[in-house]
Amino acid sequence: MKQNFLGNFTQQEPIPEEGIQAAIDVMRSGRLHRYNVAQGEAGEVALLEQEFAALTGAKFCLAVASGGYAMGAALRALGVGPGDHVLTNAFTLAPVPGAIAAVGAVPVFVGVTEGLVIDLNDLEAKADQADVLMLSHMRGHLCDMEALMAICDAHKIRVIEDCAHTMGAHWKGKASGRWGAMACYSTQTYKHVNSGEGGFLISDDEVLMAKATMLSGSYMLFDRHLAAPDSAVFAEIKYDTPNVSGRMDHLRAAILRPQLRVLDQQVENWNARYRKVEGGLRGTPGLTLVARPQEEHFVGSSIQFLLLDWSEDNINKAVAACAARGVEIKWFGGKEPVAFTSRYDSWRYAPSEKMPKSDRVLSSIMDMRIPLTFSVEDCALIAQIIKEEIGEIFTA
């Protein structure tokens, strides 16, 4: 008799007790707004920014309302506006081209490889079409960052890193987010630290970060930040930078600070589960695992595999068969967007041209969350179920 999995793919770990107590303290104070602090008090948000800057090694950090807001602020800080073109991954989630479109700019999609990273050959071919790249480390897959930066530097392309899935990851020991001009992170529930919604923006560029701080809605209270540029930098831009309010509040910051302190251990926990699923899927007929380069230290909070050249009917059968046994797999290749899955040609506000090599990969991408509420043993069972059901359909 086949064994089913009974876990919940959307159930996250509880907020640490320290975070719950800190949130209660904030609520009792009544001071939720980041600039509403008592005399001599730094406030949870400013402390969080200081701690995240130290964690990543960045000079400056700004906490904001969401990862999507962080991307929009980064684009505006770099001067991207209506009619400008911005390079970005064809394999990403909708908030990335959405952030580009929201500032009136036009996404230029760059292809994806079977390693689920940006196609550097296609980037080179399209490098003359834009001077900004919004690089999405989609689902935690890091490309060869040295090679990417060499292309971008040669063509004077400024890079914004979307690190929503790579908080805690690095390439050759250099943290994700420390390669480009600016980097954006998410603290949405399904990311690596959880405040429901929220985000970070980091950079070593003082002018860009001063602009981002003004954009976030600092008014003239930028001197209350602990991880921001010197006040003198703001003198140059404070009258010319619009307020597009998107601040983080003390409540979310209080929840996040204890989670940051255990991020390294959480990364180890995710990767142990990822490796258990990956190992269990090896040798599955018709299933292609995504190779992880030795240079990449990733965070395995989800896993992807490819069903290359499968028919739409068989992919739907595989998804349904796994679901019937309690395993939730999402397909990024469907013709219609479902929940968070979509393809570059789903975003009709953004013009696109077909990319046959990339389309073959995109039509085969299967995606599965790995919550830390799953045990390593759970992950072994999940892999067994996928292997059985996909192998049976492929060999039928």
pLDDT digits (tens, 9 = 90+) for 237-284: 999 999 999 999 999 999 999 999 999 999 999 999 999 999 999 999
3-state secondary structure 263-286: HHHHHHHHHHHHHHHHHHHCCCCC
pLDDT-based confidence at 346, cuts 50/70/90?
A: confident
Write down the pLDDT at residue 333. 86
Per-residue pLDDT for 157 more than 90?
yes
The architecture that CATH gives domain 263-395 is Alpha-Beta Complex (3.90)
pLDDT digits (tens, 9 = 90+) for 106-145: 999 999 999 999 999 999 999 999 999 999 999 999 999 9
Per-residue pLDDT for 1 more than 90?
no
Q: Are 289 and 282 in contact (CB under 8 A)?
A: yes
Mean of pLDDT over the chain: 96
Do 17-261 and 263-395 show the same overall fold? no
Among the CATH numbers 3.40.50.920, 3.40.50.300, 3.90.650.10, 3.40.640.10, which is that of 17-261? 3.40.640.10
pLDDT-based confidence at 153, cuts 50/70/90?
A: very high
pLDDT-based confidence at 341, cuts 50/70/90?
A: confident
Domain residue limits, the chain = 17-261, 263-395
